[in-house]
């Protein structure tokens, strides 16, 4: 069974309506206090594969987790992860409601051996944008201290990877950090043809990513760490599941929801300060700069899978 998981406060977007049409996927939409519930109840009636989980239903099903996460936050998506897992999901696609899927969306290698282009770097971290046509950009959450030499990578032939995490790219407004976006304001069309991987851990996000069931108890979107929520979670997951991440060509076009780029910058300061130290600490949440509320959440999240 395959699940798409998202959260939204918007009326159904172009992306949401396209995901509803993916009839071979269950589409789980997690509401928030601002979400126009009636619009999503109408989608449930129109599409048998769509399930909207209201705030009241979330509190009834997962009261402890709901209370810790709080409201008006994208981290409500964690409840969707737990609910999909409990509903028997074997593959979970985590998406944003401003990522319009291409017809090819949903083709994935999760649970399979896949031959990838393989890249090597001597740095602690591999930036997936370094091997695209946009090497001047960098993925959100790449340690800024390593930017000067981030493109020092070498092609190392082909390698077979057991894929448990597949991060697809995103045409349009890409997932770069606030400094990079303020500087370049790019609109991208990624052209790489096939999957690739690397010898070091690397940042990936929660906006267009496919996850195997077995990794989900170790993956969530961490609250209380700003825009490092999915980034630090992804680094942490790679320490648990080494050499199981691949990147694939763009399968969505991102028409980014309105953003306050300076606020994004403010919400990424925790990453500028601590991401490199986090990686040097083997991506453990048990570091002194990790908020206690985040650690409390992680314990509660783990309990949901027992």
pLDDT > 80? residue 258: no
Q: Which domains does the chain show, CATH number per domain?
A: 2-303 (3.90.550)
CA dist., res. 114 & res. 104, Å (int): 18
- Three-class SS string for the chain? CEEEEEECCCCCCHHHHHHHCCCCCEEEEECCCCCCHHHHHHHHHHCCCEEEECHHHHHHHCHHHHHHHCCCCHHHHHHHHHHHHHCCCCEEEEECCCEEECCCCCCCCCCCEEEEEEEEECCCECCHHHHCCCCCCCECCCCHHHHHHCCCEEEEEEEEEECCEEEEEEEECCCECHHHHHHHCCCECCCCCCCEEECCECCCCCCEEEEEHHHHHHCCCCCCCHHHHHHHHHHHHHHHCCCCEEEEEEEEEECCCCCCHHHHHHHHHHHHHHHHHHHHCCCCCCCCCCCHHHHHHHHHHHHCCC
* Cα first-last separation, the chain: 20
pLDDT higher than 90, residue 199 = yes
- What's the pLDDT at 264? 85
Q: How confident is the model at residue 70 (pLDDT cuts 50, 70, 90)?
A: very high
pLDDT attached to residue 112? 97
**Residue in 52, 9, 45 with CA at minimum distance from that of residue 27:** 52
Q: Is the pLDDT of residue 266 over 80?
A: yes
Q: Is residue 262's pLDDT more than 90? A: no
Buried/exposed code over 60-71 (b: 16+ C-beta within 10 A; e: otherwise): eebeebbebbee
Find the range with the poorest average confidence among 26-30, 115-119, 138-142, 189-193: 189-193
Of the candidate ranges 1-5, 108-112, 189-193, the one whose mean pLDDT is the lowest: 189-193
| pLDDT value, residue 256 | 75
pLDDT band at 206 (very low <50, low <70, confident <90, very high): very high
Instruction: State the pLDDT confidence band at 201, using cuts at 50, 70 and 90.
Output: very high
Give the whole-angstrom CA distance, residue 296 versus residue 306.
Answer: 16
pLDDT at 271: 96
Q: What is the pLDDT of residue 255?
A: 81
């Amino acid at each position: 069974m395959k699940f798409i998981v998202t959260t939204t406060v918007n009326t159904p977007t172009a992306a949401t309506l396209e995901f509803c049409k993916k009839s071979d996927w269950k589409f789980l939409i997690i509401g928030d206090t601002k979400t126009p519930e009636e619009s999503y109840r109408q989608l449930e009636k129109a599409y048998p594969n769509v399930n909207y989980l209201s705030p009241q239903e979330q509190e009834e099903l997962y009261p402890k987790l709901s209370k810790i996460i709080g409201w008006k936050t994208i981290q409500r998506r964690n409840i969707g992860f737990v609910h999909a897992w409990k509903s028997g999901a074997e593959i979970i696609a985590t998406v944003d409601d401003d990522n319009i899927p291409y017809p090819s969306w949903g083709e994935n290698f999760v649970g399979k051996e896949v031959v990838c282009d393989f890249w090597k770097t001597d740095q602690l971290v591999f930036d997936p944008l370094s091997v695209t046509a946009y090497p001047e950009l960098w993925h959100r959450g790449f340690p800024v201290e390593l930017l000067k030499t981030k493109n020092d990578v070498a092609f190392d032939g082909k390698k077979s990877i057991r894929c448990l995490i597949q991060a697809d790219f995103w045409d349009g407004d890409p997932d770069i950090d606030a400094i990079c976006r303020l500087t370049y304001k790019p609109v991208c069309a990624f052209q790489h043809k096939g999957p690739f991987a690397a010898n070091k851990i690397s940042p990936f996000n929660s906006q267009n990513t496919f996850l195997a069931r077995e990794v989900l108890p170790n993956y969530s979107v961490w609250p209380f760490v700003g825009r490092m929520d999915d980034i630090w979670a992804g680094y942490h997951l790679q320490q648990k599941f080494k050499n199981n991440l691949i990147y694939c060509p763009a399968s969505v076009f991102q028409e980014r929801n309105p953003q306050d780029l300076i606020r994004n910058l403010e919400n990424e300061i925790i990453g500028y300060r601590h991401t490199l130290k986090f990686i040097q600490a083997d991506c453990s949440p048990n570091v002194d700069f990790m908020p206690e509320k985040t650690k409390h959440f992680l314990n509660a999240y783990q309990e949901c899978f027992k």
